[in-house]
């Protein structure tokens, strides 16, 4: 089948050991499923095929979604729902008990609001940087460059590294005696407290997540760029348009749908940032890089295990994600109409 797929391959007589094994597996399952088909009729077989997937969806996504509400409206440190006491909207009242919503210090659950504000600046900075860097790289790679496939892989490689690995790589470089400080000292500077100071840690959290994700968005944008017909550029250069005008009038408008996809995906991911930050700074120093998911994680799974509060925060996060998706769907439809 590797050679071209296609229907003809089906009739080629080829029996390798793999085929023999595969055929006996097919026969085995066929014997298993034939009675089912005889029983319910071939018209109902699709239900059998969707059943496993549907079961996993229902048990591990749908039911938990509903149970989340039960947690959000109950209190106490007990994990199992039967042991928990109903508290009505107390968890939400607790979260939203604020003197001034713009100042986390006036809130009863101040870490929630700190996490909220941290998430806001993180999303703005990270998505902004990500879009700019990915677009720039995609534009560069879209030119006639030598070894484009190689450079595309270069920028993509960090995407495949696990968050923990990414965090450790950068902690090793940024530590007090690390490579970056050595370079700074070599050029006559002073060592900088990259992993200790609030400002630097925040900077590096943004930098590292851009570093590890940009290759993914570059690929998507590059695919978008390559779908723009080259005739448009030829026509514009005949009409005397310069590079900037071609970019402004052809590339940007035609890339808009792809940009939107990138924006949707990157915002939704940035709002949920957890693992790189957890392994890099664990939300610190203090709460300087504690974001929403980390707040939920800490509140639920660190003593004193306030599951109700964490579930309420999850629902707030879920509504934010839902609103973001709806806004972006709306914007997407408008840009399509325009």
Partner 1 sequence: MGAIGKFLGRTHGKRGPDWADYVTYLYLILGTVLMFGPVMWLVTSSFKQQSDLLRFPPRLLPYRQEMVEVSGYDEPLPLYVVVFEDGTTRELARVRRVGIEGHHVDPANPEEIIKVNINQTTPVEQVVFSFDNYIRGIERFNFLRYFVNTVTVTAVATALTLLVNSMAAFALSKYQFRGRNSIFVLMISTLLVPLSVILIPLLLTIRSVGWFDSLIGVIIPSIATPTGVFLLRQYMLTIPDELLESARLDGASEWRIYLQVILPLARPALAVLAIFSVMWRWNDFLWPLIVLQSSEYKTLQVGLSSFSGELQTQWDTLLAMTVLTLLPVTVVFAFLQKYITTGIATTGMK
Positions in 57-76 near partner 1 (CB under 8 A): 57, 59-68, 70-71
Asked if 251 contacts 225 with a C-beta cutoff of 8 angstroms, the reply is yes
Chosen residue from 21, 196, 252, 318 binding partner 1 by CB under 8 A: 318
Considering only residues 143 to 162 of the shown chain, the ones binding partner 1 according to CB under 8 A are 143-146, 149, 151-162
Question: In whole angstroms, how close is the CB of 129 to partner 1 at the nearest point?
Answer: 14
Question: In whole angstroms, how close is the CB of 105 to partner 1 at the nearest point?
Answer: 26
Considering only residues 250 to 309 of the shown chain, the ones binding partner 1 according to CB under 8 A are 261, 265, 268, 272, 274-275, 278-279, 282, 293, 296-297, 300-301, 307
Q: Cβ closer to partner 1: 26 or 252?
A: 26
Question: In whole angstroms, how close is the CB of 67 to partner 1 at the nearest point?
Answer: 4
Question: In whole angstroms, how close is the CB of 103 to partner 1 at the nearest point?
Answer: 26
Q: Cβ closer to partner 1: 182 or 327?
A: 182
Residues whose CB is less than 8 angstroms from the CB of residue 111 and which lie 6 or more positions away in sequence, other chains included:
104, 287, 290, 295, 298, 299
Question: Taking CB under 8 A as the rule, does residue 132 contact partner 1?
Answer: no
Question: In whole angstroms, how close is the CB of 87 to partner 1 at the nearest point?
Answer: 15
Q: Which stretch in 89-97, 110-118, 124-132, 182-190 sits in contact with partner 1 by CB under 8 A? A: 182-190
The count of chain residues that interact with partner 1, using the rule CB under 8 A, is 110
Question: In whole angstroms, how close is the CB of 101 to partner 1 at the nearest point?
Answer: 22
Q: Which stretch in 28-36, 93-101, 121-129, 196-204 sits in contact with partner 1 by CB under 8 A? A: 28-36
Chosen residue from 87, 168, 228, 250 binding partner 1 by CB under 8 A: 168
Q: How many residues does the chain have?
A: 338
Residue 309 to residue 315: CA distance in whole angstroms = 10
Question: In whole angstroms, how close is the CB of 147 to partner 1 at the nearest point?
Answer: 9
The interface mask with partner 1, positions 184-213, x = CB under 8 A, is -xx------------------------x--
Q: Which two tokens stand for residue 50?
A: 């969707």
Chosen residue from 87, 129, 171, 328 binding partner 1 by CB under 8 A: 171
The interface mask with partner 1, positions 101-130, x = CB under 8 A, is ------------------------------
Question: In whole angstroms, how close is the CB of 211 to partner 1 at the nearest point?
Answer: 7
Residue 329 to residue 326: CA distance in whole angstroms = 5
Of 322, 311, 323, give the one whose Cα is nearest residue 65: 311
């Amino acid at each position: 089948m590797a050679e071209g797929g296609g229907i003809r391959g089906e009739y080629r007589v080829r029996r390798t050991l793999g085929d023999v094994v595969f055929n006996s597996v097919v026969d085995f399952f066929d014997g298993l499923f034939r009675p089912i088909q005889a029983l319910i009729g071939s018209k109902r077989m699709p239900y059998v095929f969707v059943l496993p997937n549907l079961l996993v969806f229902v048990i591990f996504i749908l039911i938990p979604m509903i149970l989340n509400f039960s947690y959000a409206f109950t209190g106490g440190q007990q994990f199992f729902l039967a042991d928990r006491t109903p508290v009505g909207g107390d968890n939400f009242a607790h979260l939203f008990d604020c003197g001034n919503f713009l100042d986390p210090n006036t809130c009863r659950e101040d870490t929630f609001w700190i996490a909220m504000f941290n998430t806001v600046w993180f999303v703005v900075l990270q998505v902004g940087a990500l879009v700019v860097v990915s677009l720039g790289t995609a534009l560069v790679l879209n030119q006639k460059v030598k070894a484009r496939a190689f450079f595309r892989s270069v920028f993509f490689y960090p995407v495949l590294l696990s968050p923990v690995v990414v965090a450790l790589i950068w902690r090793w470089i940024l530590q007090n005696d690390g490579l970056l400080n050595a370079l700074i000292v070599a050029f006559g500077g002073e060592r900088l407290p990259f992993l200790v100071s609030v400002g630097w840690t925040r900077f590096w959290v943004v930098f590292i997540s851009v570093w590890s994700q940009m290759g993914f968005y570059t690929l998507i944008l590059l695919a978008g760029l390559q779908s723009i017909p080259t005739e448009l550029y030829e026509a514009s250069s005949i009409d005397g348009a310069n590079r900037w005008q071609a970019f402004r009038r052809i590339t940007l408008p035609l890339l808009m749908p792809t940009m939107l996809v990138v924006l949707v995906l990157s915002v939704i991911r940035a709002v949920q940032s957890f693992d790189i930050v957890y392994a890099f700074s664990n939300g610190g120093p203090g709460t300087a890089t504690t974001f929403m998911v980390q707040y939920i994680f800490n509140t639920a799974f660190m003593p004193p295990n306030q599951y109700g509060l964490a579930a309420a925060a999850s629902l707030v996060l879920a509504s934010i994600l839902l609103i973001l998706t709806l806004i972006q769907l709306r914007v997407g439809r408008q840009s399509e109409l325009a």
